[in-house]
Amino acid sequence: MLLSEGNTDVTFTTHAVTQGALRVFVRRILARVWKRPITEIEIAGGKLPRLHSGGGYKRKVKFAIELYSNDVHISHLGISIDRDGEANKKRLALLRAGRDESEKEGRRLAPSTALGVAVEMLESWLLADTKALAKVLGVSGSVPDPESIRNPKATLNELKNENPLSVNEIYDQLAEYADLNVVMKRCPSFKQFANEVRQRFAQ
């Protein structure tokens, strides 16, 4: 099960024809870990729960782990959110605190939960490989440090220009064609998440 906050990250609308860029990235990472092709139906997608009583990301992670630990059909859980600015640099620590507490409580999925925070947004990861950008969007030239771009979503939208593909289709294709090694090199936050997926989903 893969959870995020945006529909372009993990598509969770009914009868969607796209997967969501985060799901594509995770599928490709897992293909390396498990040494076999991964079908999209093996990775369910959902939205990180909104809690009306507050509690922030720590409580959201605890709630998600508790919720999905009760489903015997789910063997692993991945959660990735955007940092959305330097002011939110503690978000990864909050996610980990929620997982740590869930592990102490003995929640089944806690040890198999991978956590990530994209700096500043998942779009940063999609901007990392210029060859993928050229293939999907027909743009040339280098992109500056993706994680230093304040609003990578706007940057990617500018590059989209008049491309006839939908935003979701573009995101999926960029995640599909990107060289994972290049993305890991240019985006430390992606490398951190990819390492978590490799380690936590290895079992």
Domain ranges for the chain, please list them.
2-200
Q: What is the mean pLDDT of the chain?
A: 92
* Cross-strand pairs, 114: 78
Closest to 78 in 3D by CA, of 91, 66, 67, 64: 64
Q: What span, in angstroms and rounded, lies between the C-alpha atoms of 9 and 121?
A: 10
Q: What pLDDT was estimated at residue 202? A: 87
User: What does the pLDDT look like over 118-160, one tens digit per residue?
Assistant: 999 999 999 999 999 999 999 988 888 999 999 999 999 999 8
Residue 13 has pLDDT above 80, yes or no: no
Q: What span, in angstroms and rounded, lies between the C-alpha atoms of 108 and 196?
A: 17
Q: What pLDDT was estimated at residue 183? A: 98
User: What does the pLDDT look like over 82-125, one tens digit per residue?
Assistant: 999 988 899 999 999 999 999 999 999 999 999 999 999 999 99
Q: What pLDDT was estimated at residue 53? A: 60
Residue 14 has pLDDT above 70, yes or no: no
Residue 24 has pLDDT above 70, yes or no: yes
Q: Is the peptide bond before 120 cis (omega within 30 degrees of 0)?
A: yes
- Helix then strand count (H, E) for the chain reads 9, 4
